[in-house]
Structure 1
């Protein structure tokens, strides 16, 4: 199971008003156990675009990154990990 250690969040601007709902970009640092296939010695982060519309929060896209280099990792999260990430982001939305 992944543990989320720290995060940053920014509002994604929509200067033309063409997107429905609000978008936020999260960068979440993950604590990945050494025996997990996602493990990287330099750490793993998730860059996530979240959509909030009508009280519903969902992931638009995400990338897993090696934290220190920003290199995109060619892995996907499992469904339960994605669900935990959505819940984490929902709980940490800016007021």
Structure 2
């Protein structure tokens, strides 16, 4: 299971009004156990896009990256890990409003 250690969040601006709802970009530093296939000595972070709409809100997409190299990692998280990321984003939306 992943552990979220720190994060940043910001509202993604859409000056042309193309996107419906509001989208937030999260950069979430994560730790994984040494024996996990995702483990990297360089550290990991998740880039997550969370959408808040009139009818539906939720995680739109996520991507995994190595911290020091900024290299994209083509791995999928387990369903419970994706649910944890989504819940984390939902819980911390107001932090983007405070900035």
Q: 57-66 or 18-27, which moves further after superposition? A: 57-66
Within a 5 Å distance, the mapping from 1:46-61 to structure 2 comes to 46-54=46-54, 56-61=56-61
> TM-score normalized by structure 1?
0.93
Q: Partner of 2:91 in structure 1?
A: 91
Q: Is the 8 A contact 1:57 1:86 kept in 2?
A: no
Unaligned runs of 5+ in 2: none
| Alignment RMSD (CA, Å) | 1.2
1:73 aligns with 2:83: no
Within a 5 Å distance, the mapping from 1:1-95 to structure 2 comes to 1-54=1-54, 56-94=56-94, 95=97
Q: Is the 8 A contact 1:47 1:64 kept in 2?
A: yes
**Relative to structure 1, is the Cα distance of residues 69 and 15 closer, same or farther in structure 2, using a 3 angstrom cutoff?**
same
Unaligned runs of 5+ in 1: none
Structure 1 stretches (4+) deviating beyond 6 angstroms?
A: none
Higher helix share: 2
> TM-score normalized by structure 2?
0.90
